Amino acid sequence: MLQYTVPATVPGPGGRIWTTRPKPSAAGLVAVLQAPSSKFSDAVRIPDFSVVALDSRAEQLVTVDTRGNVVHYHLRQNRYACLDKTGYPGTAVLLHSARQIFVAFADSTIRCYDASKGIVTGVLKGHRRCVAQERVGRQHYGFPNADELNGNVSGV
Protein backbone atom coordinates (compact mmCIF):
# COMPACT_ATOMS: atom_id res chain seq x y z
CA MET A 1 0.00 0.00 0.00
CA LEU A 2 1.36 3.38 -1.02
CA GLN A 3 0.59 6.23 1.33
CA TYR A 4 0.80 9.85 0.31
CA THR A 5 0.77 12.58 2.91
CA VAL A 6 -1.22 15.65 1.90
CA PRO A 7 0.08 18.75 3.69
CA ALA A 8 -2.47 20.74 5.69
CA THR A 9 -1.27 23.92 4.00
CA VAL A 10 -0.16 23.24 0.45
CA PRO A 11 3.29 24.83 0.04
CA GLY A 12 3.00 26.61 -3.27
CA PRO A 13 0.80 26.28 -6.31
CA GLY A 14 1.22 22.53 -6.81
CA GLY A 15 3.47 19.55 -7.14
CA ARG A 16 3.71 15.81 -7.63
CA ILE A 17 1.32 13.40 -5.92
CA TRP A 18 3.56 10.34 -5.97
CA THR A 19 7.35 10.46 -5.99
CA THR A 20 7.54 6.86 -7.24
CA ARG A 21 5.24 4.89 -9.49
CA PRO A 22 2.18 3.80 -7.49
CA LYS A 23 1.60 0.07 -7.01
CA PRO A 24 -1.93 -0.96 -6.05
CA SER A 25 -2.31 -3.32 -3.10
CA ALA A 26 -4.16 -6.64 -3.39
CA ALA A 27 -7.38 -4.80 -2.48
CA GLY A 28 -6.77 -2.19 -5.21
CA LEU A 29 -5.78 0.60 -2.82
CA VAL A 30 -3.36 3.06 -4.40
CA ALA A 31 -3.17 5.97 -1.96
CA VAL A 32 -4.33 7.08 1.45
CA LEU A 33 -4.80 10.83 1.81
CA GLN A 34 -3.44 12.05 5.12
CA ALA A 35 -2.50 15.40 6.58
CA PRO A 36 0.18 16.31 9.11
CA SER A 37 -1.09 17.44 12.50
CA SER A 38 1.21 20.48 12.26
CA LYS A 39 4.04 21.67 10.05
CA PHE A 40 6.49 20.89 12.87
CA SER A 41 5.37 17.29 13.46
CA ASP A 42 5.55 14.01 11.56
CA ALA A 43 2.33 12.78 13.17
CA VAL A 44 -0.62 12.54 10.80
CA ARG A 45 -4.33 13.12 11.23
CA ILE A 46 -7.35 12.18 9.17
CA PRO A 47 -8.12 15.03 6.74
CA ASP A 48 -11.40 16.81 7.34
CA PHE A 49 -12.80 16.97 3.80
CA SER A 50 -16.24 18.55 3.63
CA VAL A 51 -16.83 17.61 -0.05
CA VAL A 52 -14.99 15.48 -2.59
CA ALA A 53 -15.69 14.96 -6.31
CA LEU A 54 -14.24 12.51 -8.83
CA ASP A 55 -14.82 12.85 -12.57
CA SER A 56 -16.45 10.10 -14.62
CA ARG A 57 -13.13 8.83 -16.02
CA ALA A 58 -11.44 8.81 -12.57
CA GLU A 59 -8.68 11.12 -13.79
CA GLN A 60 -9.44 14.20 -11.66
CA LEU A 61 -10.24 14.56 -7.98
CA VAL A 62 -11.25 17.78 -6.20
CA THR A 63 -11.28 18.06 -2.41
CA VAL A 64 -12.51 20.89 -0.21
CA ASP A 65 -11.80 20.74 3.50
CA THR A 66 -13.48 22.47 6.42
CA ARG A 67 -10.92 25.29 6.21
CA GLY A 68 -11.91 26.11 2.63
CA ASN A 69 -8.78 24.76 0.92
CA VAL A 70 -9.69 23.69 -2.62
CA VAL A 71 -7.19 21.16 -4.00
CA HIS A 72 -7.36 19.72 -7.53
CA TYR A 73 -5.61 16.39 -8.18
CA HIS A 74 -4.95 15.24 -11.74
CA LEU A 75 -4.24 11.56 -11.16
CA ARG A 76 -3.02 10.60 -14.65
CA GLN A 77 -0.57 13.50 -14.78
CA ASN A 78 0.56 12.86 -11.18
CA ARG A 79 -0.03 16.50 -10.22
CA TYR A 80 -1.96 18.46 -7.62
CA ALA A 81 -2.67 22.17 -7.30
CA CYS A 82 -4.14 24.29 -4.53
CA LEU A 83 -6.76 26.38 -6.33
CA ASP A 84 -8.00 28.52 -3.45
CA LYS A 85 -8.00 29.07 0.31
CA THR A 86 -11.35 30.66 1.16
CA GLY A 87 -11.71 30.01 4.87
CA TYR A 88 -15.26 28.64 4.39
CA PRO A 89 -16.14 24.92 4.29
CA GLY A 90 -17.34 23.56 0.98
CA THR A 91 -20.93 22.35 0.62
CA ALA A 92 -20.93 21.05 -2.98
CA VAL A 93 -18.43 20.51 -5.78
CA LEU A 94 -18.88 19.80 -9.49
CA LEU A 95 -16.35 18.87 -12.18
CA HIS A 96 -18.01 20.14 -15.35
CA SER A 97 -15.22 19.43 -17.81
CA ALA A 98 -11.48 18.89 -17.84
CA ARG A 99 -11.05 22.59 -17.09
CA GLN A 100 -14.14 23.86 -15.24
CA ILE A 101 -14.73 23.26 -11.53
CA PHE A 102 -17.63 24.73 -9.55
CA VAL A 103 -17.44 24.78 -5.73
CA ALA A 104 -20.20 25.97 -3.39
CA PHE A 105 -19.22 27.27 0.04
CA ALA A 106 -20.91 27.81 3.40
CA ASP A 107 -20.96 31.59 2.80
CA SER A 108 -23.62 30.95 0.09
CA THR A 109 -21.29 31.62 -2.84
CA ILE A 110 -20.30 29.45 -5.79
CA ARG A 111 -16.79 29.91 -7.15
CA CYS A 112 -15.88 28.86 -10.68
CA TYR A 113 -12.30 27.71 -11.29
CA ASP A 114 -10.24 27.08 -14.40
CA ALA A 115 -8.31 23.96 -13.39
CA SER A 116 -5.72 24.24 -16.16
CA LYS A 117 -4.73 27.79 -15.16
CA GLY A 118 -5.43 27.43 -11.43
CA ILE A 119 -7.45 30.65 -11.19
CA VAL A 120 -10.92 31.75 -10.08
CA THR A 121 -12.90 32.70 -13.18
CA GLY A 122 -16.02 33.91 -11.40
CA VAL A 123 -17.98 34.11 -8.16
CA LEU A 124 -21.76 33.65 -8.04
CA LYS A 125 -23.38 35.46 -5.10
CA GLY A 126 -26.94 36.06 -4.01
CA HIS A 127 -28.08 32.69 -2.68
CA ARG A 128 -30.13 32.94 0.49
CA ARG A 129 -28.80 29.69 1.92
CA CYS A 130 -25.93 27.29 1.32
CA VAL A 131 -26.05 25.45 -2.00
CA ALA A 132 -26.47 21.71 -1.38
CA GLN A 133 -25.87 20.38 -4.90
CA GLU A 134 -24.87 21.65 -8.33
CA ARG A 135 -25.47 20.62 -11.91
CA VAL A 136 -24.69 22.15 -15.27
CA GLY A 137 -27.14 21.70 -18.08
CA ARG A 138 -27.48 22.93 -21.60
CA GLN A 139 -30.15 25.64 -21.61
CA HIS A 140 -30.87 28.10 -24.38
CA TYR A 141 -32.08 31.43 -23.00
CA GLY A 142 -31.21 33.66 -25.94
CA PHE A 143 -27.57 32.55 -25.95
CA PRO A 144 -26.62 29.85 -28.47
CA ASN A 145 -24.94 26.89 -26.78
CA ALA A 146 -24.87 28.66 -23.42
CA ASP A 147 -24.10 26.65 -20.30
CA GLU A 148 -26.10 27.59 -17.24
CA LEU A 149 -25.23 26.61 -13.70
CA ASN A 150 -28.22 25.47 -11.64
CA GLY A 151 -27.71 25.49 -7.90
CA ASN A 152 -30.15 23.49 -5.78
CA VAL A 153 -30.65 25.31 -2.50
CA SER A 154 -32.10 23.37 0.43
CA GLY A 155 -35.10 25.04 2.01
CA VAL A 156 -35.67 27.76 -0.60
Give per-residue pLDDT as tens, 61-108. Answer: 999 988 888 999 888 888 888 899 999 999 999 988 878 999 999 999
Which pTM was predicted?
Answer: 0.71
If you count DSSP H runs as helices and E runs as strands, how many of each does the chain have, helices first?
0, 14
Task: Give the residue among 48, 50, 64, 59 at the shortest CA–CA distance from 113.
Answer: 64
Please work out, in degrees rounded to the nearest 5, the angle formed at the alpha carbon of residue 122 by the alpha carbons of 118 and 127. Answer: 130
Q: Could you state, in order of their start, the residue ranges of all structural domains in the chain? A: 4-153
Torsion sign over Cα 40, 45, 49, 52: positive
Q: What residues contact residue 54 under an 8 Å CB cut-off, 6+ apart?
A: 60, 61, 95
**Residue 151 pLDDT exceeds 80:** no
**Cα(138)–Cα(74) distance, rounded to whole angstroms?**
26
CATH class for the domain made up of 4-153: mainly beta
Q: Listing from the earlier edge strand, what are the strands of the sheet with 90-95? A: 90-95, 100-105, 110-114, 119-124
For residues 21-35, average pLDDT? 67
Q: Listing from the earlier edge strand, what are the strands of the sheet with 33-36? A: 4-5, 33-36, 44-45
Query: DSSP H helical segments within the chain, as ranges?
Result: none
At 16, which helix (H) or strand (E)? strand 14-16
Give per-residue pLDDT as tens, 110-140. Answer: 999 998 888 899 998 888 888 888 877 765 4
